[in-house]
């Protein structure tokens, strides 16, 4: 089955080893917090938490004279316990924008990224406070950045969907000779990927992780592994079945895969399983030819499908189920703009004079 494939086993092992490497650079009180969250969080989430806390300790070492000669591994829990809310606010300002005087480099973070980094820090303090390892939690007094929910969903309209599919099918006059040569070799693969993502709304990682055995053309289904590691079966339409069949019996049948990549559904030009980054570049490349005023990524293909499905059915629970949203509120918030469109229709829907 999909979640037991060698690809997902290898991916999980790589994440575990990466997490261990990051934690080996950090003090034990960080590891205690991370391993406490192990049962309730995915490895990728734990890696993000660890990196965010490492950023904070690196900031202290770099900008606080008291910790100038302290290695990250040597930080003690008392070092962060005696910080105050002003110290945390200064760190927040550092995340917003800072410039390195030594080489002139600068960095900045959007509110969403700042909120995530502060959340990891809050979690660290909360864990040790609840376990009576510290008595002070300066993060409690610091307000989190307000993040506005964007109701403007970037998606493609029907004509743009047709245009991007045609660009994959037939090429585009803006393509260079080199791009046309590549298209001649990957047209069936690229069309299968774009059509599959537009017709199911699967995530780019779910697409990259597909094995050939996960596709049942007779039954009209694909088996995918969701973001949280659960397995799901999605039904696919006739158009998707057709392009997958043409790819599997065409370009894919001629691939001689590299060792360890024999099961993959989609291959790179190097005959390895196609990566998430490669699919990102593929989608952006074709979209750039035909959708000039929108930044189209694989996630926007997902938004396009979700929007079309909701408009067609009006069933928000169905959209949440098909897109694999664990919490339906995620779907409701994301597609709130479509609800507004429905409400606007009500303005002229009832005309008593006309009905009379």
Q: What is the pLDDT of residues 271-291, one digit of tens each?
A: 999 999 999 999 999 999 999
The separation between CA 57 and the C-alpha centre of its own chain, rounded to angstroms, equals: 26
pLDDT score for 332? 80
Spatial distance between the Cα atoms of 85 and 91, rounded to a whole number of angstroms: 10
Mean pLDDT across 97-102:
64
In terms of residue numbers, what domain contains 217? 158-344
pLDDT score for 353? 57
pLDDT score for 83? 93
pLDDT score for 336? 61
Query: Which range is least confidently modeled, 142-151, 160-169, 299-308, 321-330?
Result: 142-151
Domain termination site, one of 114, 141, 168 = 141
Query: Which range is least confidently modeled, 182-191, 193-202, 341-350?
Result: 341-350
Asked if residue 302 and residue 215 are part of one domain, the reply reads: yes
The whole model's pTM is what?
Answer: 0.80
Look at residue 97 and give its three-state secondary structure.
Answer: strand
Query: Which range is least confidently modeled, 2-6, 114-118, 120-124, 252-256?
Result: 2-6
In a domain, 319, yes or no: yes
pLDDT score for 97? 86
Asked if residue 124 and residue 179 are part of one domain, the reply reads: no
Q: What is the DSSP string of 187-230?
A: HHHHHHHHHHHHHH---HHHHHT-BGGGEETTTTEEEEE-TTS-
pLDDT score for 2? 66
Alpha helices in 25-145 (DSSP H): 28-36, 43-63, 77-81, 85-96, 111-130
pLDDT score for 128? 97
In a domain, 350, yes or no: no
pLDDT score for 120? 95
CA angle, residues 276, 244, 4, in degrees to nearest 5:
55
Spatial distance between the Cα atoms of 218 and 216, rounded to a whole number of angstroms: 6
Mean pLDDT across 78-101:
88
DSSP 264: B
CATH of residue 95's domain is 1.10.150.130
Task: Flag whether pLDDT at 53 surpasses 70.
Answer: yes
Asked if residue 268 and residue 219 are part of one domain, the reply reads: yes
Domain termination site, one of 109, 141, 173 = 141
Domain termination site, one of 88, 114, 141 = 141
CA angle, residues 45, 47, 53, in degrees to nearest 5:
105
Asked if residue 169 and residue 106 are part of one domain, the reply reads: no
In a domain, 148, yes or no: no
pLDDT score for 29? 97
């Amino acid at each position: 089955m999909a979640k037991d494939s060698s690809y997902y086993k290898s991916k999980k092992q790589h994440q575990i080893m990466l997490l261990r490497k990051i934690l080996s650079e950090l003090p034990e009180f960080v590891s205690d917090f991370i391993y406490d969250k192990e049962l309730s969080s995915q490895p990728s989430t734990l890696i993000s938490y660890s990196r965010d806390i490492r950023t904070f300790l690196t900031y202290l070492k770099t900008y606080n004279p008291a910790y100038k000669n302290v290695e990250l591994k040597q930080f003690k829990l008392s070092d962060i316990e005696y910080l105050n809310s002003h110290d945390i606010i200064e760190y927040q300002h550092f995340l917003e924008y800072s410039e390195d005087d030594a080489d002139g480099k600068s960095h900045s973070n959007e509110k969403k990224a700042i909120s995530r980094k502060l959340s990891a820090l809050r979690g660290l303090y909360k864990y040790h406070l609840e376990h009576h390892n510290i008595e002070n939690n300066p993060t409690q007094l610091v307000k989190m950045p307000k993040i506005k929910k964007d109701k403007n969903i970037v998606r493609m309209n029907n004509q743009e969907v047709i245009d991007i599919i045609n660009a994959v099918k037939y090429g585009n006059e803006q393509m260079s000779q080199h791009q046309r040569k590549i298209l001649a070799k990957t047209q069936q693969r690229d069309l299968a990927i774009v059509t599959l993502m537009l017709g199911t709304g699967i995530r780019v990682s779910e697409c990259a992780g597909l094995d050939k055995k996960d596709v049942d053309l007779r039954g009209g289904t694909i088996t995918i592994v969701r973001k949280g590691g659960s397995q799901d079966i999605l039904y696919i339409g006739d158009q998707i079945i057709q392009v997958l069949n043409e790819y599997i019996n065409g370009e894919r049948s001629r691939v001689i895969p590299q060792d360890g990549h024999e099961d993959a559904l989609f291959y790179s030009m190097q005959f390895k399983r196609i990566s998430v980054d490669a699919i990102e570049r593929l989608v952006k490349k074709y979209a750039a030819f035909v959708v000039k005023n929108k930044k189209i990524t694989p996630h926007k293909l997902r938004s396009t499908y979700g929007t079309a499905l909701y408009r067609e059915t009006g069933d928000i629970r169905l959209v949440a189920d098909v897109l694999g949203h664990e919490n339906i509120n995620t779907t409701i918030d994301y597609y709130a703009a479509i609800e507004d469109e429905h409400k606007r229709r009500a303005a002229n829907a009832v005309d008593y004079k006309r009905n009379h």
